[in-house]
Structure 1
Amino acid sequence: MTHDLLGRHRAVFPDWLALYYEEPIEITHGEGRHVWDAEGNRYLDFFGGILTTMTAHALPEVTKAVSEQAGRIIHSSTLYLNRPMVELAERIAQLSGIPDARVFFTTSGTEANDTALLLATTYRRSNTVLAMRNSYHGRSFSSVGITGNRGWSPTSLSPLQTLYVHGGVRTRGPYAALSDGDFIAACVDDLVDLLGHTRPPAALIAEPIQGVGGFTSPPDGLYAAFREVLHERGILWIADEVQTGWGRTGEHFWGWQAHGRHGPPDIVTFAKGIGNGMSIGGVVARSEIMNCLDSNSISTFGGTQITMAAGLANLNYLLEHDLQGNARRVGGLLIERLRAAAAHVPAVREVRGRGLMIGIEITRPGTDEADPATAAAVLEAARAGGLLIGKGGGHNTSSLRVAPPLSLNVAEAEEGAAILEDALRSIP
């Protein structure tokens, strides 16, 4: 049955639409932190549909909200008043920390970042954008154009002039050997020098922790130091929180808060986890930035009633059950368990991350050379052991990505860590 579906998939979809595993699986249903495939195999899910199943599979509060809303009305567009959309926007505006915040809903993180770029370039009257090396911001024409990860940027054509800044990867590049303080100072000096050679940019867009890039991040405080330089020149700061938002990092509700010495960003983009699988993305910005567009705009499917109902129920559950605190506690245990296991595996260059957002970088032993074949083999071995994880990285996709639902308990963390340890030890 699965083989037949694979053949049909390949017959109608483009070659570049990737599937995991040598023998791809069809996931048919899930519950809590587990999913099942069409063959009846049960897996502990440590990837959550690419960090999207944020709380749990088949969370009763969310499924009930979706069912009840579907029985009333599913969709009407933004041309009409929409109570669930207003209620979720109010909650997000308050949680964002941005003063006089305005919210615009989209259907994905890509579209959210695309909207943020539109706002920033219009507000600043500039099509120059600063982005981080090793970054990923989506698959639209504009977001591909600012993606600093060659493996995910298929064209150099772009409506924007993009300048790439140092700092998103702490342990690689020309400043890797420096202390954290010196690393930040060197990156700031590089930014100041770069700005001296170009027309004023519209904005810097940055992921607090780079998702597709392999869960890499700078030292805390880098973006606060950047913000001082940017603010002096009127350049906006866009925090791409598509993967880091909603408490996943444990220590903070938003990833930018590790760098928030001078207050919140000018624009925050979000998506993925807020919908717990429903298609929700969005932008939060100060009112004067959000209101700078002087032409009509709507969103046909952004903010549709059924997705907003899911988002409200999911956000309420996350806050009422302190899943941020759970991510900090259980994530801390999981990362230490994985570091202990990796200490005996020469192919593991680094275990990094915070909360329930953990990266394991695989290289050829004794070198910094990426080893994507071995990373893929560990992915396969983990699946064979009953664990689903992801992969990524800016160096030929040689990092494993571990990002379970935020309701993960200690027993499940221990079980997943044991499976992943066995998978790592299977490396020849």
Structure 2
Amino acid sequence: MTAASGPGASPATRLHARHRAVMPEWLALYYREPLELTHGEGRHVRDSQGRRYLDFFGGILTTMTAHALPEVTKAVAEQAGRILHTSTLYLDRHMVELAERIAALSGIPDARVFFTTSGTEANDAALLLATSYRRSNQILAMRNSYHGRSFSAVAITGNSSWSPTSLSPLQTLYVHGGIRRSGPYAHLPDPDFVSACVADLKDMLGQTHGRVAALIAEPIQGVGGFTAPPDGLYAAFREVLAEHGILWITDEVQTGWGRTGDHFWGWQAHAEHGPPDLLTFAKGIGNGMSIGGVVARADVMNCLDANSISTFGGSPVTMAAGLANLTHLLEHDLQGNARRVGGLLIERLRAITAGFPAVREVRGRGLMIGIELAEHDGSPSPEAASLALELAREEGLLIGKGGREANVLRIAPPLSLTVAEAEEGAAVLESVLRQVQSTIAGKERP
């Protein structure tokens, strides 16, 4: 018996030891002493020791409305008491109703909806549809992107930290534009940045052989550190793609359902040439239940010429939860709340970090905010981000971490966040970032 699993160890420490004994080494855990979260309510969670935290990450942008939202827990309990599972081989009223609402909200004409259990599976399905429709395995993706952990999703992930293999079922071509503040065009003003990225896209298409199937892109890169191109970039891309018949897949797994405040979907910031051909979603719609899916034009969705079902996609329980959650979101205008409270939080964070050289940028939209940290020489500082994560936890705030160099703090609380809670979180982050700034300044001294 080790000290970590001995009788004197805390329950979380003993659980961590058991976790390490049976789980893969690559299954990441936050914090030097990982947390076991056991309860949640509203925007707060509690760990196994009973300590309460303000949740500014929501299970990776998944707890969209609130922890233990009464409407969702009631819908789950009532449906579970009737029947837990049927599969897509049978009609399901909740699945049809949720599909109708999502199709109407998507902006895609004559839309069809296919439900999955995760964002990874949704993107996998979208790639199957696009490559089948276009009879091509060539895919355009964005540098620094992340689209999931399946073999095909990893094949279009442009962030090397999350792409463990170079083997691929697809021929992927990576395009400039997803990262605004770094790369060869970072110095350009927004209009010239867009023009340069469009020129790069045209040049790439001029060098490809065969028919490119689709471009897949996150309107705001999630794991990549909440970085985004100027508004209109994907509209400009769309114009080029349309000339070649290339489909546009928008990955809305993190940007959907009003989180950005300004728009219900991230693609709507790039809407000059109409909606995408395919849209993928997951995370927030289930508020913790496993829901993902694809929305596509009917001709694209119906292009498969073989049988297919989903054993667990669109299950009665998850669909009941999704309907209740979406209804609450719309009836309480949580998109508007994300715009108002998120706008206040972003401005507050920019104000408190204005004198901190360690903070390279505060960016974001609505309640999807990134704080990029740097060393005294301006280089990315993953150590600063890790320190900030630990310090925030000590002060009762849970946040996320991302970016290509793992140097970006990710702020994404439930969309029902109150102004008082935003101020509380901002005060903690001010304290944390002061300590981070002091640590980095100390490293400068001989």
Q: Identify the residue that residue 391 of structure 2 maps to in structure 1.
A: 381
Question: What is the CA distance between 1:342 and its match in structure 2?
Answer: 1.4
Q: Aligned equivalents of 2:326 and 2:313: distance in 1?
A: 17
Q: Aligned equivalents of 2:384 and 2:267: distance in 1?
A: 33
Q: Aligned equivalents of 1:174 and 1:18: distance in 2?
A: 32
Q: Aligned equivalents of 2:166 and 2:308: distance in 1?
A: 28
SS at match of 1:426: helix
Match of 2:375 among 341, 349, 364: 364
Question: What is the CA distance between 1:365 and its match in structure 2?
Answer: 2.0
Letter in 2 for 1:80: Y
Match of 1:289 among 288, 294, 300: 300
Q: Aligned equivalents of 1:366 and 1:266: distance in 2?
A: 43
Task: Answer yes or no: is the 8 Å Cα contact 1:364–1:370 preserved in 2.
Answer: yes
Match of 1:18 among 28, 42, 46: 28
Q: Aligned equivalents of 2:360 and 2:127: distance in 1?
A: 35
Residue 422 (str. 1) matches residue 431 (str. 2):
yes
Question: What is the CA distance between 1:43 and its match in structure 2?
Answer: 0.2
Task: Answer yes or no: is the 8 Å Cα contact 1:348–1:365 preserved in 2.
Answer: no
Residue 172 (str. 1) matches residue 182 (str. 2):
yes
Match of 1:9 among 12, 15, 19: 19
C-alpha offsets along residues 197-230 of structure 1, whole Å, 9 cap, x if unaligned? 0022100000000000000000000000000000
Question: What is the CA distance between 1:68 and its match in structure 2?
Answer: 0.6
Question: What is the CA distance between 1:366 and its match in structure 2?
Answer: 3.6
Q: Identify the residue that residue 408 of structure 2 maps to in structure 1.
A: 399
Q: Identify the residue that residue 240 of structure 2 maps to in structure 1.
A: 229
Q: Aligned equivalents of 2:423 and 2:190: distance in 1?
A: 31
Q: How does 1:123-134 map to 2 (within 5 A)?
A: 123-134=133-144
SS at match of 1:202: strand
Q: How does 1:271-420 map to 2 (within 5 A)?
A: 271-367=282-378, 369-394=379-404, 396-420=405-429
Gapped regions of structure 2 (runs ≥ 5): 1-10, 440-446
Q: Aligned equivalents of 2:277 and 2:39: distance in 1?
A: 39
Q: Aligned equivalents of 1:73 and 1:342: distance in 2?
A: 52
Letter in 2 for 1:412: E
TM-score normalised per structure 2: 0.95
Equivalent pairs: percent with the same residue?
A: 77
Q: Identify the residue that residue 31 of structure 1 maps to in structure 2.
A: 41
CA RMSD of aligned residues (A): 0.5
Residue 268 (str. 1) matches residue 283 (str. 2):
no
- Matched residues, number: 426
Match of 1:103 among 107, 110, 113: 113
C-alpha offsets along residues 102-146 of structure 1, whole Å, 9 cap, x if unaligned? 000000000000000000000000000000000000000000010
Q: Aligned equivalents of 2:207 and 2:12: distance in 1?
A: 55
Q: How does 1:57-96 map to 2 (within 5 A)?
A: 57-96=67-106
Q: Aligned equivalents of 1:77 and 1:253: distance in 2?
A: 29
Q: How does 1:206-225 map to 2 (within 5 A)?
A: 206-225=217-236
Q: Aligned equivalents of 1:234 and 1:421: distance in 2?
A: 49
SS at match of 1:71: helix
TM-score normalised per structure 1: 0.99
Q: Aligned equivalents of 1:252 and 1:374: distance in 2?
A: 32
Task: Answer yes or no: is the 8 Å Cα contact 1:248–1:356 preserved in 2.
Answer: yes
Question: What is the CA distance between 1:11 and its match in structure 2?
Answer: 0.4
Divergent runs of 4+, >6 A: none
Question: What is the CA distance between 1:345 and its match in structure 2?
Answer: 1.6
Q: Identify the residue that residue 253 of structure 1 maps to in structure 2.
A: 264
Letter in 1 for 2:152: S
Letter in 1 for 2:78: E
Q: Aligned equivalents of 1:60 and 1:311: distance in 2?
A: 13
Task: Answer yes or no: is the 8 Å Cα contact 1:346–1:366 preserved in 2.
Answer: no
Letter in 2 for 1:79: L
Gapped regions of structure 1 (runs ≥ 5): none
Q: Aligned equivalents of 2:212 and 2:143: distance in 1?
A: 16
Task: Answer yes or no: is the 8 Å Cα contact 1:372–1:398 preserved in 2.
Answer: yes
C-alpha offsets along residues 167-209 of structure 1, whole Å, 9 cap, x if unaligned? 0011110111111000000000000000000022100000000
Question: What is the CA distance between 1:249 and its match in structure 2?
Answer: 0.1
SS at match of 1:351: strand
Question: What is the CA distance between 1:315 and its match in structure 2?
Answer: 0.1
Match of 1:44 among 54, 70, 73: 54
Question: What is the CA distance between 1:75 and its match in structure 2?
Answer: 0.8
Q: Aligned equivalents of 2:85 and 2:426: distance in 1?
A: 42
SS at match of 2:152: helix
Q: Aligned equivalents of 1:43 and 1:83: distance in 2?
A: 38
Question: What is the CA distance between 1:74 and its match in structure 2?
Answer: 1.1
Q: Aligned equivalents of 1:166 and 1:31: distance in 2?
A: 41
Letter in 2 for 1:329: R
